[in-house]
Amino acid sequence: MPLLIARSTALMERLFGPVGLVLLTVLYLLFGLTGHDPWRGDDAAHFGPVLSMLQGEGLLFPHLAGQPVTDFPPLYYWVAALLARLFSWLLPLHDGARLASALFTALTLFWVARAAGFLYGRPARAPAVLLTLGTLGLVIHAHETQPMLALIAMQALTLAGLAQLSSAPLAGAFKACFGTALSVLAGGLPAAMLTLPLFLVVPLMGRECLTPRVSGALLLGLCVALPLGAAWPLALHDQDPGLFALWWQASWERFGQSPIAFADYDRIVKDIGWFAWPLWPIALWALWSGRRRLWNLPYILPIGATLLAAIWLLVGNFDRPVALLVLIAPLAVLAAAGVLQLRRGAANAFDWFGVMTFGVFAILVWLGWSAQVFAWPPGLARHVERYGADFVLHGSSALAAIGALITLVWLVTALRLPRSPNRAPGNWALGMTMLWCLAVTLLMPWFNHGRSYRPPVESLARFLADEHSDCVAAMGLSAAVRTSLDYYAGLRPEAVSPAGSPCRLLLVHDDRRAAPRTLPDEWTLLWEYRRGGGKQLDIFRLYRRD
């Protein structure tokens, strides 16, 4: 019996080693990444430029259904298109494109761990990875087609490079400058605001960095980074000056946006509170514990990166919670130091709070599955019915068995983790991985039914086949809808108003957030498709001009 206990303890301890962290990361990233359609929102919208590249369009500048888009430069789309093509023999194009999100998230985890190791020593690597995996705001975006993931990966690379300056100046400088150059290719000119000013923090890092060797390495790295960062804009200008002008104008408009109104600060603080949990409380503890050393490299670097991210958000880049991803890398680095300095009572409280939190969330997921299968509890069952009136769950017994196994493995592992500074971060990472895997297993069919545009688009395509018309105008189409029309039906409606449309057919998309559209009497309703309910209501209508 003691031998079995010793072997079990050794097995649990390996979870915090390189092999255990890699296996946990692979499970976290790949489970639920594939096997479903592009969903409404960013997942479908950002698949549009990838689809255009796969069709031979917009290889240098992102396009969506034939129209240029200026939201992000092409770094993420290049990688997504390449992976979609490489794995097209195994996965549908939209699933293959999502592999880019797993790749950039893995790179973020790796470079966050390296930065924490350079700043606080090797013991800080594991908590940096575990806390990042346990962050509430990362999990959804890490499993969708999301170009912001490329930006935070380059942000983490810059942090890792600057953190290495004191031990390996030349290697650290080249890493940091390479990350800064690629951040422009990942997020545009405004993204340089997240990384480039960090080079001004070097003189504040302490005597170990105020050496000719470090200064020379930084200067050499910058000499390489500047032409590297300018390579894509110059190539774009040479290939298509009009697209370059469009990108340049959009970039400066981002800088010129009005700052966030003071009345919105309360909303931002609330969003940060849940999105960056549990990073920010542990990071605050790290600041308190190291309050006498805040001007040294291990503290001033993540503090400076966090402040730059906050400024970047406040000057007009905070349009949706996904923008808060830029806070994760610097907060994770700083929180890694806080974990090593947590007192035993606080660490135990943090540990049990994580176990209880994910236990409650797991119960809620099981209730969601019960509402689909047994129509209990009644209130939740009515919610499920409203959002997917024609949804039918198949294989409920098999899904329940897999979900029970996931829950049991998590519960046993969480209770058997050895006592160490990594126990609390480990339980947060395990809890988030369990919750995501459980939600994918039990709720993925329902989510895919309600968030995919495939059914309405295929219904529309069948109807249009009988109309024998190649010209369709459109009103109110979001980027996600335009991508789905192009992907599932090869349809690219003309985005024009009804009065100026030469087309005989008009497709109108309304949702709960938009007021119903009224058309002149000359338009006759031919086809209508309603999907979802409540906040997720979508109504597609096709009209013909008499």
Which pair of structure tokens corresponds to residue 188?
Answer: 């545009």
Going by pLDDT thresholds of 50, 70 and 90, the confidence category of residue 200 is confident
8 A C-beta contact, residue 112 and residue 156 = yes
Q: What is the pLDDT of residues 395-417, one digit of tens each?
A: 889 999 999 999 999 999 998 88
Going by pLDDT thresholds of 50, 70 and 90, the confidence category of residue 26 is very high
Which pair of structure tokens corresponds to residue 434?
Answer: 């369990």
DSSP secondary structure letter of residue 494: B
Q: What is the reported pLDDT for 499? A: 58
Give the count of beta carbons closer than 10 Å to the beta carbon of residue 7: 10
Tokens 């079990």 map to which residue?
A: 8
How many Å apart are CA 298 and CA 167, to the nearest integer? 13
The mean pLDDT value of the chain amounts to: 89
Q: What is the reported pLDDT for 100? A: 98
Q: What is the reported pLDDT for 510? A: 84
Dihedral of the alpha carbons of 229, 230, 233, 236, in degrees to the nearest 10? -110
- Do strands 472-475 and 505-511 pair parallel, antiparallel, or not at all (unpaired)? parallel
Going by pLDDT thresholds of 50, 70 and 90, the confidence category of residue 12 is low
How many Å apart are CA 404 and CA 410, to the nearest integer? 10
Give the DSSP H/E element, type plus range, for residue 334.
Answer: helix 328-340
Which of 127, 129, 80, 124 is closest to 107 using CA atoms? 129
State mean pLDDT over 244-267: 78
Top pLDDT among 470 and 76 is at 76
How many Å apart are CA 329 and CA 279, to the nearest integer? 10
Q: What is the pLDDT of residues 123-180, one digit of tens each?
A: 999 999 999 999 999 999 999 999 999 999 999 999 999 999 888 888 998 999 999 9
Going by pLDDT thresholds of 50, 70 and 90, the confidence category of residue 2 is very low
Q: What is the pLDDT of residues 33-72, one digit of tens each?
A: 999 999 999 999 999 999 999 999 989 999 999 999 999 9
Q: Is the dihedral of CA 215, 217, 222, 223 positive or negative?
A: positive
Going by pLDDT thresholds of 50, 70 and 90, the confidence category of residue 11 is low
Listed range (85-94, 227-236, 280-289) with the worst mean pLDDT: 227-236
Model confidence at 10: pLDDT above 90: no
How many Å apart are CA 101 and CA 447, to the nearest integer? 20
286-290 contacts at long range (C-beta below 8 A, 24 or more positions apart): 286/334, 286/335, 286/337, 286/338, 286/341, 287/334, 287/338, 289/337, 289/338, 289/341, 290/337, 290/341
Give the count of beta carbons closer than 10 Å to the beta carbon of residue 352: 13
Model confidence at 4: pLDDT above 50: no
8 A C-beta contact, residue 296 and residue 204 = no
Return the ∠ at Cα 298 (arms to 201 and 212), rounded to 5°. 50
Strand partners, 283: none
| Phi and psi at residue 67, to the nearest 5° | -115, 135
How many Å apart are CA 169 and CA 171, to the nearest integer? 6
Going by pLDDT thresholds of 50, 70 and 90, the confidence category of residue 86 is very high
Q: What is the pLDDT of residues 440-467, one digit of tens each?
A: 999 999 989 888 999 999 999 999 887 7
Model confidence at 534: pLDDT above 50: yes
8 A C-beta contact, residue 437 and residue 27 = yes
Q: What is the reported pLDDT for 139? A: 97
DSSP 246-258: HHHHHHHHHHTSP
Which of 306, 292, 296 is closest to 334 using CA atoms? 306
Strand partners, 538: 511, 531
| Phi and psi at residue 57, to the nearest 5° | -110, 150
State mean pLDDT over 205-210: 62
How many Å apart are CA 310 and CA 116, to the nearest integer? 21
State mean pLDDT over 521-542: 84
Q: What is the reported pLDDT for 296? A: 86
Q: What is the reported pLDDT for 67? A: 93
Model confidence at 181: pLDDT above 90: yes
Residues in contact with 376: Cβ distance below 8 Å, sequence separation at least 6, in sequence order? 370
Quick one: what percent of the chain has pLDDT higher than 90?
A: 61
For the full predicted model, state whether its pTM sits above 0.75: yes
Q: What is the pLDDT of residues 339-373, one digit of tens each?
A: 988 888 889 999 999 999 999 999 999 999 999 99
Model confidence at 15: pLDDT above 80: no
The number of helix segments (H) and strand segments (E) in the chain equals 22, 6
Going by pLDDT thresholds of 50, 70 and 90, the confidence category of residue 423 is very high
**SS3 of 540, please?**
strand
Residue type at 111? Answer: W
Give the DSSP H/E element, type plus range, for residue 97.
Answer: helix 93-120
Q: What is the pLDDT of residues 489-504, one digit of tens each?
A: 999 998 776 556 778 8
Q: What is the pLDDT of residues 265-319, one digit of tens each?
A: 788 889 999 999 999 999 999 999 988 888 888 999 999 999 999 988 887 667 7
Report how far Cα 13 is from the mean position of its chain's Cα atoms.
30
